[in-house]
Structure 1
Amino acid sequence: MTFQTRTTIPEEAAREGLLAVVIERTVRGARVAASAVERWTRAVRAVVTPLGWAVVAAALVSLGVGYGWGWGELVALGWGLALLVGLASAWLAGRGAGVIELSLPVERVAVGEPAEARLVARNPGRRRFGGARLELPVGERIVLRFLPPLPRGATFDEQFPIPTERRGVVPVGPARTVRADPIGLMRREIVWSDTSLLHVHPRTAAIAALSTGFVRDLEGSPTRDLTVSDIAFHALREYVPGDDRRFIHWRSSAKTGTFMVRQFEETRRSRLMVLLDLDAHSYADEAEFELAVSAAASVGARAIRDSRSVSFVVSGRDRSASGVRRRGGAVHELSTASRDRLLDALCLVESDERAVPLPDAARAAAESLSGVSLAFLVTGSAQGIAPLRAAAARLPGGVATIVVQCAPEGEASSRSVAGLTVLGIGYLDDLRAMLARSASLA
């Protein structure tokens, strides 16, 4: 009895283990089969057109009714439709060994400058490649071309113009070929490239170097202005009454017999802020806002070129989607790591009817930025003088403030209101002339 118990338990355990392995492998096989069926179904749905599904359904109905009722005509019609579907499937068979490459020779252009995408198709294989329609999405439109059949070693090279009439980011691609049977039962798309982005920058003017807003700072950069007390040594000169005796160079004085004092180059810093008003109520139309973006971009790009410390901010939204006033997000700071980074960010800014008013944006910028010595406020012609003065008053004391009001095709003007400089420009070139003539920037 004991012997039977010892041999039965292992046999039952072995049978249970074998059953578990069979069940596990069965479940795993079922999952693999289901995944394969799902992929196949997805691929079929992507290829068969609505007309193709209608023909497949008509073929099944004809065959079923024809065989069921003994109607030879329906049987012949059903097999004819089935043969038509088979021929359409064979028409799309094969992909070819070709390669299609999409590139942008220039990824950044200014508004109005020519831009193009280059598409190159090659056939390194033995089989013929091509003979399909080529589709290239460019922004919101699709450029259509016919890719001719390419024998072995042949190349198809074509350039497509890209519209740059408006500032923004234009997606180009992906390039894809589309093959379809003559009847339109099957349609096969093959994607050959990724999507490339063309940044259409706002136009900028080459304005003169900005010299207003410099503040003495021992950690700043040396300038051509000379002083008797700083850290950047320049030269020696004779002592005059009033010079600080601490800067007498005794060794040189002993050699010349005349007191000589050190002369230094003054080191200064400039913390410049550019605030672009995004409030749609500040502008008369879209052209006025685009002029403001270009003016602000010109000032920011010049400051970056001069290696000045610059902060470029735009006004944020005043209210959320629920209508509740938000405390944060009154301004957003754009990247000024380089000129291209700044202009890339400006490709995406748009006017907003829910943007914070200019005075509130100026106050938020003053609270988030420190050490500003010069501020440019760029806005539209719809702003009155009262909001401009309110915006300037909310900046820290001692900050030189310049307001740039944009009115396309308007007359250039310069005025000073209670110590606030207001420049009116009608063209982008007016900004360069007004800044060059402005007494506050001399």
Structure 2
Amino acid sequence: MGLETVSPSGRLLAVASVAAWGLGAVLGWDELVLLGVTGVLLLVLASAMTLGHGSVRVAVEITRRRLQPDDSTRCLVEVEHQGRRSLFAPEVELPIGRDRVEVFDRGREVEITGLRRGVIAVGPATTVRGDPLGLLRRTVPMTEVVEVFVHPLTVPLEPLGTGLLRDMEGRTTDDISMSDLAFHALREYVPGDDRRHIHWRSTAKLAQDGRFLVRQYLDSRRAHLVVVVDGQSYSDDQVFETALSAGASVVKRAAADEIDTTVVAAGHVCGKGRAQHVLDVFARAEQGGPVLAEAATRAVAAAPDATLVVLITSAQHSYADLRVAAAAFPPEVRKVVLRVDPSAHTRRAASTAFSVLTLRQLNDLPALLSGGTLQ
């Protein structure tokens, strides 16, 4: 039992009891000695009531762990007292975010409401042993911490574009291959070529002296979307929330289109994975972290095979800043910059290096990205 078990009133009683006992013994005052002995006995009795492990099993179950703002979920806490019930059976407390819920007897069902974007820690559920006077208090964790993710608000979007969806066709590159789907040209057969790629009709028409012509292809690769949300350039929290909502909307649409996605949101990185797990990054994001150019560099390291990148930031970045961030990606990667600016009109602008989209409010995003803007 450590000092953290003793409450401030318990510490005060301990000091006062020892002082009264000692002072009474020196001065010969029996009344002070009696007060000191009484205080010590109270502490001993409180310690006896606090000791012991108890036979309690606690289970916490949450109906939904991934929500949107203003949604609600239920938390069921089951308490099972094993063996004989004691008069001083421990209480059970469950932290939910910054709140603390007391659980009595066999359990309790708690409704978690009024949620805002973020991560809410539920638990650990603890048993609390103490005395009626509150002199000592000992807690023992009984469960693990369970995280509830509140994702940003999202809006439904149209498919991100035929060029991204048709992964069977892929996105062609300039790399020559002997086995792919993007036909490029014919060339003469050389030893080691796969005979299955011989183009017999062209060989019969064009080749002479017994030479063969084989098909040659351009490499194609699976579409891979990268979404980068800046975390340092926002004038207020609402602009930052709009940026996160825009990024989450794009990621959610990409998941429906079965496009591989990597997210870098205010310093948090999540590679390819299930859509819900990728959206968890937006729940964890807070203002701060690396600047836009550094976030883009992290995205390149996390997704070297990216085919499309969406950089989401505020209007405070200059065109030069955007160009530096976009330059972190290879030239063949398609780049789109989405600037959140509540004071401007929603519009599109094109440049030689990347497209620039200005978003006034989240509800404008579907129209802004319609017509294959990200294609």
The two structures share one fold, judged by TM-score above 0.5 = yes
Aligned-pair distance for 1:128?
A: 4.2
Determine helix, strand or coil for the equivalent of 2:279: helix
Q: Are 2:99 and 1:142 aligned?
A: yes
* Structure 1 position 89, deviation (Å): 3.7
1:104 matches 2:62: yes
Partner of 1:274: 226
Shift of 1:294: 2.2
Query: By how many angstroms is 1:379 displaced?
Result: 1.5
Relative contact order, CA 8 A, sep 6+: which one is greater?
2
CA change 1:356–1:247 in 2 (3 A) is: farther
Q: Which string of whole-angstrom CA distances, capped at 9 and with x for unpartnered residues, describes residues 318-371 of structure 1?
A: xxxxxxxxxxxxxx853122212322233333333x73444x755775688555
Residues 212 and 374, structure 1, Cα contact 8 Å, conserved in 2: no
8 Å contact from structure 2 (residues 94, 123) kept in 1: yes
Alignment correspondent of 1:159: 110
Aligned residues: 338
Consecutive unaligned residues in structure 1, runs of 5 or more: 1-42, 224-229, 233-244, 249-265, 317-331
- Name the CA distance, whole Å, in 2 between partners of 1:436 and 1:386: 27
Asked whether the 8 Å contact 1:275–1:315 carries over to 2, the reply is no
Q: Quick one: distance in 2 between partners of 1:85 and 1:362? A: 60
Q: Is the 1:211–1:441 Cα contact (8 Å) retained in structure 2? A: yes
Name the SS of the counterpart of 2:64 in structure 1. Answer: coil
- Secondary structure at 2:313 match in 1: strand
CA drift of 1:314 comes to 5.4
The answer to whether the Cα contact below 8 Å between 1:408 and 1:426 also exists between their aligned partners in 2 is: yes
- Which whole-Å CA distance do the structure 1 matches of 2:252 and 2:266 have between them? 19
Query: Are positions 1:300 and 2:300 aligned together?
Result: no
Give the whole-Å Cα distance in 1 for the aligned partners of 2:360 and 2:39.
69
**Residue 215 of structure 1 contacts residue 373 of structure 1 at CA under 8 Å; is this kept in 2?**
no
Q: Which one-letter code corresponds to 2:157 in the other structure?
A: I
- Note the 1:314-325 alignment, pairs <5 A: none
Which digits, 9 at most, give the CA deviation of each residue in 1:105-130, with x for residues without a partner? 22222333213432111234332477
* CA drift at 1:165: 0.7
Partner of 2:72: 114
Corresponding residue for 2:153?
203
| Distance in 2 between residues matched to 1:183 and 1:158, nearest whole Å | 29
Q: 1:180 to 1:408 in 2, by over 3 A?
A: farther
- In 1, Cα distance between equivalents of 2:364 and 2:34: 80
Distance 1:369 1:159 in 2: 41
Q: Is contact 1:98–1:129 with CA below 8 Å preserved after alignment? A: no
SS at match of 1:437: coil
Displacement after TM superposition at 1:302 (Å): 2.8
Matched, 1:347 2:299: no
Indicate the RMSD between aligned Cα atoms, in angstroms.
Answer: 4.1
Contact 1:103–1:118 (CA under 8 A) maintained in structure 2: yes
Identity over aligned pairs, percent: 30
1:175 corresponds in structure 2 to 125
Aligned pairs (5 A) from 1:39-438: 43=1, 45-67=3-25, 70-92=28-50, 96-128=54-86, 134-139=92-97, 141-145=98-102, 147=104, 150=105, 155-161=106-112, 164-167=115-118, 169-211=119-161, 221-222=168-169, 246=199, 269-281=221-233, 283-313=234-264, 334-352=270-288, 355-358=290-293, 362=296, 370=304, 372-389=306-323, 391-392=325-326, 395-408=329-342, 411-418=345-352, 420-438=354-372
CA contact (8 A) 1:284 1:381 kept: no
C-alpha displacement of 1:301: 3.4
Whether the 8 Å CA contact 1:96–1:127 is kept in 2: the answer is no
Quickly say closer, same or farther: Cα 1:165–1:129, change in 2 above 3 A: farther
Instruction: Go from structure 1 to structure 2 and tell me whether the alpha carbon gap of 1:370 and 1:274 turns closer, same or farther (over 3 Å shift).
Output: closer
Structure 1's 304 and 296: CA in aligned 2 closer, same or farther, altered over 3 A? same
In 2, are the aligned partners of 1:88 and 1:181 still within 8 Å (CA)? yes
Corresponding residue SS for 2:83:
coil
**SS of residue paired to 2:223:** strand
Counterparts of 2:355 and 2:329 in 1: how far apart (Å)? 14
Amino acid in the other structure paired with 1:209 = P
- In 1, the alpha carbon distance for the partners of 2:283 and 2:136 equals 40
Q: What is the distance in 1 between the residues matched to 2:271 and 2:285? A: 13
Q: Which amino acid aligns with 1:187?
A: R
**Secondary structure of 1:403's aligned partner:** strand
Offset, 1:162: 5.7
**C-alpha distance in 2 between matches for 1:125 and 1:288:** 56
CA distance in 1 between partners of 2:123 and 2:113 (Å):
11
The whole-number CA distance in structure 2 between the counterparts of 1:247 and 1:312 is: 47
Aligned pair in 2 of structure 1 residues 271, 418: CA closer, same or farther (>3 Å)? same
**Contact 1:123–1:129 (8 Å) recurs in 2:** no
CA positional deviation for 1:287: 1.6
Matched-pair contact (CA < 8 Å) for 1:274–1:312 = yes
Q: 1:391 to 1:196 in 2, by over 3 A?
A: closer
2:287 counterpart SS class: coil
| Alpha-carbon shift at residue 404 of structure 1 (Å) | 1.5
Whole-Å separation in 1 of the counterparts to 2:226 and 2:241: 16
How far 1:393 sits from its partner (Å)? 5.9
Select the structure of larger CA radius of gyration. 1
TM-score (norm 1): 0.62
TM-score normalised according to structure 2 size: 0.72
Q: Which residue identity lines up with residue 274 of structure 1 in the other structure?
A: V
Uncovered stretches (5+) of structure 2, i.e. residues with no partner: 171-178, 182-197, 202-217
Aligned to 2:212: none
Once the two structures are TM-superposed, the CA of residue 156 in structure 1 deviates from its matched residue by 2.3
